[in-house]
Structure 1
Amino acid sequence: MVGDVGIGSKHPVVIQSMTNTLTTDVAATLSQVKKLAAAGCRIVRVAVPTEHDTKALKQIIDRAPVPIVADIHFSPARAVEAIEAGAAKIRLNPGNIKDKNDLNRIIDCAKQHKIAIRTGVNEASIRDLKNDTPPDGRVPLMLRELTGYVRLFEKGGFANLVLSAKSTDPVRTIEINRAISEKFHYPVHIGLTHAGLPEHARIPTAVVLGTLLSEGIGDTIRVSLAGDPVKEPQMSLEILQSIGLARRVHPELTVCPTCGRCQTDVIKLARTIDKEIKKINKPLKIAVMGCVVNGPGEAADSDIAVCAGKNKGFIYKNGKKVASVPESQIAETLFKMIEQF
């Protein structure tokens, strides 16, 4: 459990993200936490690099709508302070904690407060990789390092773990998470680290998360995008919906790719409809097709569809044609039918 959020096989996949505000700016951080929660995050992580941050953390935790995770690097003191401030989970890389006694102090504090710890490796932070790639490859090295961390926690009697291993490389990210899933029975957090700008990160991230989730690997996910973090849960939700792991709450718009048979501006029509249906909170399936050749069949499982012909549109409801209207009235007719739904 992370606060009141369950993580693991019997629970839905949990979307999370991380604030990019200064944690000491409590108002700004809380505002972003609330936006992330509204966008679909059930857990939000914040950075606590200084004592000033952990002092602000309690104020954020007390007023946040979702459990807060503290991101810890290097400092055992920050870890203990964050736990005592009420963090529901901490993210910790034991490789950054030099003294075993310090790690044991963190473990004891986490046990006392009954919180979870996410532990793992990031390919970029593994010291052995800075000089050369080992003979058996990077993935086995990442797995060995993670295994060592897990054994340290288990030796300390701590098993409330979430495991993660990340890389900027999509193939290695998939491979290491498959290896973790085979070797351990702890929940796994998955994501593609430092994925990049949204337009660059979208495809490789979807490939990694879609592949792993379709294989049953991944209990929490984060899409990592440079810029506005609110875009992260939006994309995470879209990925989960695409593979049937989350229920749609907004309309889904299907648009044909268009071809030489089109006799109307399908893309213009689709954009007009897309703009209007963004206001709707119902999981309708709406289709815009550019011809009457393949359109009716391809739109058969839609709630509402239009198959555009020359100067007119044929309107379908639940796969059955219900109207034929002039091109100028297609959008208006669809909107009226959507209102009826």
Structure 2
Amino acid sequence: MNKIIEVHGLKKSFGSLEAVKNIGFYVEEGSLFAFLGPNGAGKSTTIDMLTTRLKPDGGEVILGGYRLGRDDDRIRGSIGIVFQDSLLDPLLTVKENLQVRGSFYGLPRAALEAAIAAAAEAACVGEFLTRPYGKLSGGQRRRADIARALIHTPRVLFLDEPTTGLDPQTRKNVWEMILKLQREQGMTVFLTTHYMEEAAQADYITIIDHGEVLARGTPLELKNRYAADILKIKPVLDAELAGVLTDLGAAFDRDAAGVYRIALSRTVEALGIIDRCRDNVENIEIINGTMDDVFINLTGMEVRS
């Protein structure tokens, strides 16, 4: 697969603060790429540089074949951005907002109307196209924001915390729409999110903190490297299970309810343990490692919103 974004040695400082420290990564064309890190990690600074809003102190960025610092106008024409805070006018209808946005690209009237119709369909805003933006629900506003970013058919769509503040059902609806765009239109989606269950759906993830890349890989690769599965067993006889686990050299603890938690370096390790104590099991459960575990193990903290 082609690399649509390539970043090499990217740097940015604000006075004595090194916000981004010589980072490098790439994004494959047509992929859903998640860029994660706690607040203050350097995510926003990096995205501001990639989208030409902030000049780097050093490094190289190639986006869609265009070089940052030389082809900035072409880069801006290749990307769409959905910010955490909307840029749309609350007094205008969704369609009027899209018309204003589309006019920036100098499209003839017929082409502009076609672009608005295509963006409205892709972002599922047709049912409220003629309603004032300020009268929409949170989920409807987010979809309208995405429609705004799609007017010029960008090759890369940057989504900065696109579902923050939305209720679970609305988040699900917006997320399904994002995945539909990525899969059906082959659009590259560059996502930042504080919801690890969303990040787990990405094709590839890069995690940064303190301006440096901590880890990169697919969700499965990261979970295998940085998150342990847990085997939970409620035994019939406490001492018997403790003896078996001690003989096996397994790391375990026991909670107040008498449930043993055994850390697994690989999921298949559970099979040998279960086989040794199958006649002494009252209840059993395997809990897979999650992206939350990965994030906490790498950054030392829960994801901060």
What TM-score comes out, normalization by structure 1 length?
0.38
Identify the structure with bigger relative contact order (alpha carbons < 8 Å, sequence gap 6+): 2
More strand per residue: 2
